[in-house]
Amino acid sequence: MRLWSLHPRHLDARGLVALWREGLLARAVLSGRSRGYTRHPQLARFLSCPFPVESLDAYLTHVLAEGAARGYAFDSGKIRSGAGSPAIPVTYGQLLFEKRLLEAKLRARAPEAGLALEAGLFPEAHPLFSVRPGPREDWEKGFLSPPAHVLVLFFNSPAGESPRERNRRLSGQARKALGLAVDRAGAPAGLGTKDRQGRPVSQGGWSWSVTHKPGCAASLAAPGPAGVDAEFLDFARAPRLYTRAASRAEWRLLGGEDPFTFFRIWTAKEAALKSLGLGLAALSECRVTRAAGPRRLVLSVNRRRVVVEQRVFSRHLVSATAGPGPLVWRVERGGGVSFR
């Protein structure tokens, strides 16, 4: 059960329907018609009101109004008006916590709604609540996973190297980037080992992934499945790989064939496959199903949904996925390389 402090307009369709149903369940509990959930922490602030059921009715009245605005057929006969119920205080810290919690949920199931919520500096509270300064409420028992960290490292590429020397140096830079990401994320210090098949090994619930190109390495440390890929934006070679990268339906979904879109698709698919422990042999099972803005693609891999975040740094496109949690992006530079 979750009775959001956020305004119902921030919720996607699934979230709004769930809120209405869980609100009615809460009403049954407060009315003495249900023996379960009587000590649920989400009910604490309503129980502290002089008339708990009336306050919850006032809360659900706004949920009902939002549902009506969207064309949903919520049954208004389930509640009373609740008019005149006093405002219930809620802290800024609680709203920010719920914003991050909702962003994590929307990132996986409704990326467009998630983008709209992320774009706002501060979310709007439910009209029943009066916002006041303070940390997260004491009754809040929810848990937020720590954010995943993407570390993009730029460095000089010396001339005259043999292929073996170049690969060794690039692998070292990728390891350096991973060490920085692990440190920033607070992940286990030993993260970064591989199994006998060369696949990254998770540790303490954390996963990792690395990629490198001449002059650039990117790493990802995440409390869940991790996949990262990067490509230098060499538009001259992109057209040769259009057919392999995506189907005609995928190209149409993203507005047609062009070099930048190719790199968006290619790096997103690489990152998604890495996160599931798959290689390019499974490329045919990986397809783009939605473009959620210029920095996010939604993919399906063997019917598994994967959301990929994308950023461009110094003519390199980096794609990363780390489950539903947030991604923190950082850029480091070494060897005198400048970055903007």
Q: What is the pLDDT of residue 338?
A: 35
Per-residue pLDDT tens digits for 182-235: 999 999 988 999 999 888 999 988 999 999 998 999 999 999 899 999 999 998
Per-residue pLDDT tens digits for 38-77: 889 999 999 999 999 999 999 999 999 999 999 999 999 9
Residues whose CB is less than 8 angstroms from the CB of residue 163 and which lie 6 or more positions away in sequence, other chains included: none
Query: What are the backbone dihedrals phi and psi of residue 156, each rounded to the nearest 5 degrees, phi first?
Result: -75, 150
Sign of CA dihedral 132, 134, 139, 142: positive
Q: Domains in the chain and their CATH numbers? A: 8-132 (no CATH), 148-333 (3.90.470.20)
Interior/surface letters 26-61, b for 16+ CB within 10 angstroms, e for the rest: bbbbbeeeeeebeebebbebbeebeebbbbbbbbbb
253, two tokens: 């979904």
Report the alpha-carbon distance of residue 140 to residue 16 in Å, rounded.
20
Cβ atoms within 10 Å of 23's Cβ, excluding its own: 24
What's the mean per-residue pLDDT of the chain?
90
Q: Considering only CA atoms, which of 237, 249, 233, 206 is closest in space to residue 319?
A: 233
Per-residue pLDDT tens digits for 275-319: 999 988 899 999 999 998 889 999 999 989 999 999 999 999 999
HEC assignment per residue over 272-329: HHHHCCCCHHHHHHEEEEEECCCCEEEEEECCEEEEEEEEEECCEEEEEEECECCEEE
Q: What is the pLDDT of residue 267?
A: 96
User: What number is the average pLDDT over the span 328-338?
Assistant: 70
Query: What are the backbone dihedrals phi and psi of residue 263, each rounded to the nearest 5 degrees, phi first?
Result: -65, -35
Q: What is the pLDDT of residue 112?
A: 72
Residue pair 175/190 in contact by the 8 Å Cβ criterion = no
Strand-pairing partners, residue 216, are: 154, 213
Residue percentage of the chain with pLDDT more than 70: 96
Q: At what angle do helices 13-30 and 52-69 cross, to 10 degrees?
A: 160
Q: What is the pLDDT of residue 38?
A: 83
Question: Which spans in the chain are helix H?
Answer: 13-30, 44-47, 52-69, 92-109, 111-119, 163-185, 242-245, 248-253, 259-275
User: What number is the average pLDDT over the span 156-164?
Assistant: 84
